[in-house]
A and B are shown apart, each in its own frame.
Chain A
């Protein structure tokens, strides 16, 4: 089972009834997997891809107020979006168990930051559990629900990429459906507390935390009891798994005490006192911040991130853990460096991806433009020179407005063309668009509408008209929404019709100069999304003629992976396996050496 499947399995086994999420790597598969089990086992469970993490959080949290068990899952930067309800929910507490699953991405492999969600748990003052394997994650879901209900508090489960995307042989347990019914007991002093009563709630929260720091069930585990030792390694999460393997393989497990921390915050008070009084030196291994470490009252003998022993940025890969453990234990070893990440090839938009034509057209229509962009597959428009800024979800639009205002003050004009995906637009793009209309910011917004959340695995968007298991839902009308924000120029175009689409962008630029933000909806399905395969236009058979002079314009400026430069022949060839037949390259070659082979006997 994939770590995320294990978490999902833990949820359905524990009787979770409300599950909401917004997709984001490495958390995306949790909700899809919950849906699969719900459907396979005919469970009574509401699962949804919400419009964003804040909404997902609030829906799941409210489910818990009615006494049902609930969970919200997201990636760590999603928790930033949901931090508003998180802080407040910690004060008010819960009724049914409520899990906040926030998946961190040390590295980062697929994120803007490698922030540590455990710090968010600390700030909100809620307990956080840190699994060290997929099986452990599954177990901690059940334990988390018990903890949540015992103290009426939201509980965070914080897996990392290496847990979410590790696969382990796990035998599923029994499904224990809860025979609970939604039953909201009104209690305005708590559920709608005024600042005065919030003070009381805060005091209660502090008491809960002190009690949780003594709850035996989540206390740190001594992995090698009985070993006499002067030094101790304390680790949590995947770092504990690395440490366990390295200590056992090297035999150090017989000489160094090893503790696995399950609940990094609040760290058990008795444990802190015990390790500080029992060992001469303590090495703390954790990702990504020094959360366990900072709770050690006296850090003079503690080695970790804050002491400068453990690198503060980047993934704590096993090679680094090995080096740290070896030097901590005073033995040789751990000198092998990890192979550098990534290697040669950079990611690129798929062959036939409509975003590629959109970026190409944008560069043609506004060659000197400023291009704010956003989070999704289309961030890869970077390779094409069509992306200048990427800040966070929805920021393309506010950044476009920000550029406009700054340039206006300096009396300068710039063509600003922002790009945002449909899912990202719904997620956080609507408020900045309203703002831009009100403030009269002049730019073109291209909404790359491929009707799916492609980057994270093709989850439906609010405009897709499908729910989490493909069932039909009401679809949001994107044009209507854009117009309702006050935008007067809003047109839909097909990016693969490159000449027409470029002309449309030029028209939009002219309109934006006159009347404020102009919106072009670039509507064409993602070529990888099987759910939309029927919407794809008919394939064109493209080939390269003898005229190709190897100028490499198409491979460098258009970068379709199906166009490959052949070093020996000194010309470009079409990779028949990768080519989707979108035909856009027909318009790209400056000397028309890319041609379409028309079907036998036919003109079209």
Chain B
């Protein structure tokens, strides 16, 4: 029953974000949801709260376009965003066969030959830029430039500009934090260029 959704007014997108409590999975999923809303697309997300946020496995589901359920079924995700490499073998079950993944991995991890799995040492980059906690945004920046926006022939439902605007909306009052966050996204984007 793997449905095709030709009837939908715009292509829908399902993304699963995975990480450990404290890595900022929730922040990225809310940012992307915000970017979707800014484009006028209906969005549903599902978040992990409670006990798991204390360092346990945290998963967010993000569904852009007309969906009823907030959860992504196994084998249906268009994309996977992995902040903790150790979750990857586990959560790749969410991906559909042609899906893509971006993975925050230890240096030296090779992209997989099929070309759809992209790895980057976001932790290391964020640390060397003096903003360790922003590895989530570095990975997001990486995804934005590596995958590209759908509007521009890429794979992601939103553009880098959309993410920057969403960031500005969320952190607008905290000027220095906003700048640091934008820098982290930019750093990731730099490394996403092929």
Interface, chain A (partner B; CB < 8 A): 2, 25-26, 109-110, 132-133, 162, 165-169, 238, 241-242, 244-246, 248-252, 317-319, 322, 326, 331-334, 336-340, 342-350, 377, 379-380, 455-456, 561, 576-577
Contact = CB atoms under 8 A, between A and B. Distances in A.
Contacts of A245: 67-69
A318 B56 contact: no
B115 interface: no
B68 A244 contact: yes
A336 B68 contact: no
Contacts of B107: none
Given A110-B49, A169-B37, A344-B57, A333 B2 contact: yes
Contacts of B45: 166-168
B71 A345 contact: no
B74 interface: yes
Given A249-B1, A333-B2, A339 B70 contact: no
A132 to B, nearest CB: 8
From A344, A345, A456, residue with most partner B Cβ within 10 Å: A345
Nearest first, the 7 closest Cβ-Cβ pairs linking A and B are A249-B3, A110-B50, A333-B1, A347-B56, A25-B50, A166-B70, A250-B1
Contact of B75 (A133, A241, A336): A336
5 contacts: A168-B44, A249-B3, A337-B93, A347-B54, A455-B50
A577 B56 contact: no
Contact of B70 (A110, A162, A332): A162
Interface stretch (B83-91, B137-145, B147-155, B172-180): B83-91
B48 A344 contact: no
Main secondary structure of the interface of A (DSSP, over half): loop
B52 A347 contact: yes
B99 interface: no
Contacts of A244: 68-69
Given A241-B68, A249-B3, A340 B52 contact: no
A133 B55 CA distance: 28
Interface in B5-57: 5, 20-22, 29-30, 33, 36-37, 42-57
B85 to A, nearest CB: 11
A223 to B, nearest CB: 10
Contact of B49 (A165, A349, A561): A165
Which of B29, B33, B49, B84 has the most chain A CB atoms inside 10 A of its CB? B49
Contact of A168 (B2, B43, B90): B43
Given A336-B73, A347-B21, 4 more contacts: A250-B1, A319-B73, A338-B73, A344-B87
A575 to B, nearest CB: 9
A319 B94 CA distance: 11
A348 B74 contact: no
A224 to B, nearest CB: 13
B3 A248 contact: yes
A344 B50 contact: no
Contacts of B67: 245
Interface string B118-146: 00000000010000110000000000000
Contact of A322 (B1, B47, B49, B50): B1
A165 B48 contact: yes
Contact of B56 (A319, A336, A342): A342
A169 B54 contact: no
Nearest to B19: A345
B127 A162 contact: no
A2 B45 CA distance: 9
Interface residues on B, range: 35 or more
Nearest to B127: A577
Contact of A343 (B3, B49, B57): B57
B56 A345 contact: yes
Contacts of A167: 29-30, 33, 43-47, 70
Contacts of A350: 22, 54-55
B49 A25 contact: yes
Given A318-B69, A331-B1, A345-B57, A339 B50 contact: no
Contacts of A456: 50
Nearest to A105: B50
A510 B100 CA distance: 62
Contacts of A246: 1
A249 B76 CA distance: 12
Contacts of B30: 167
Interface in B174-192: none
Interface in B79-108: 84, 86-87, 90-91, 93-94
B34 to A, nearest CB: 9
A339 B3 contact: no
A456 to B, nearest CB: 8
Contacts of A455: 50-51
Contacts of B52: 109-110, 342, 347
B180 to A, nearest CB: 15
B17 to A, nearest CB: 13
A322 B51 contact: no
B74 A338 contact: yes
A318 B16 CA distance: 15
A318 B73 contact: yes
A383 B75 CA distance: 33
B7 to A, nearest CB: 9
A322 B55 contact: no
B55 A241 contact: no
B56 A165 contact: no
A342 B20 CA distance: 10
Contacts of A317: 71
A347 B51 contact: yes
Contacts of A252: 1
B87 A110 contact: no
A132 B3 CA distance: 22
Nearest to B33: A167
Contacts of B43: 167-169
Interface string B52-64: 1111110000000
Given A246-B1, A322-B1, A334-B1, A380 B54 contact: yes
B54 A339 contact: no
B26 to A, nearest CB: 10
